[in-house]
């Protein structure tokens, strides 16, 4: 079953919100791994895998994270920011 427009919009909205987050280095590293999974799900048109990646990314939200976001909090580092923008562009196709 292909990824529907509603799930694409939800994903795009989340990724745009992530661009404004401040988080720890560890959280950004995890976000990078999740973006890899998210892109694989988009390429495979796998809504179940995309939904799982969304849930994992939502868990990193600095307002919800339970790890205390240990360490200094920063905006997304350039490589993560670039991948976020690339993924937003991919979803827009």
pLDDT tens track for 24-40? 999 999 999 999 999 99
Mean of all residue pLDDT scores within the chain: 92
Residue 1: the pLDDT is: 81
- How far apart (Å, rounded) are the C-alpha atoms in residues 56 and 1? 21
| CA atoms of 54 and 3, how far apart (whole Å) | 13
- The number of folded domains in the chain is 1
**Per-residue DSSP letters for 21-68?**
--B-HHHHHHHHHHHHHHHHHHHHT-HHHHHHHHHHHHHT-TTT-SST
Residue 14 has pLDDT above 60, yes or no: yes
* Whether pLDDT at 65 is above 70: no
| Domain region containing 62 | 5-91
Query: With bands split at pLDDT 50, 70 and 90, how would you rate the model's confidence at 89?
Result: very high
């Amino acid at each position: 079953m292909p990824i529907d427009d509603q799930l694409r919009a939800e994903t795009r909205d989340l990724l745009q919100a992530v661009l404004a987050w401040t988080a720890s280095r560890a959280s950004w590293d995890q976000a990078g791994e999740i973006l890899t999974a998210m892109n694989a799900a988009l390429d495979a048109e796998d809504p179940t895998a995309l939904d799982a990646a969304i849930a994992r990314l939502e868990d990193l939200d600095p307002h919800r994270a339970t790890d205390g976001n240990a360490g200094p909090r920063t905006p997304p580092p350039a490589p993560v920011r670039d991948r976020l923008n690339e993924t937003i562009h991919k979803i827009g196709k």
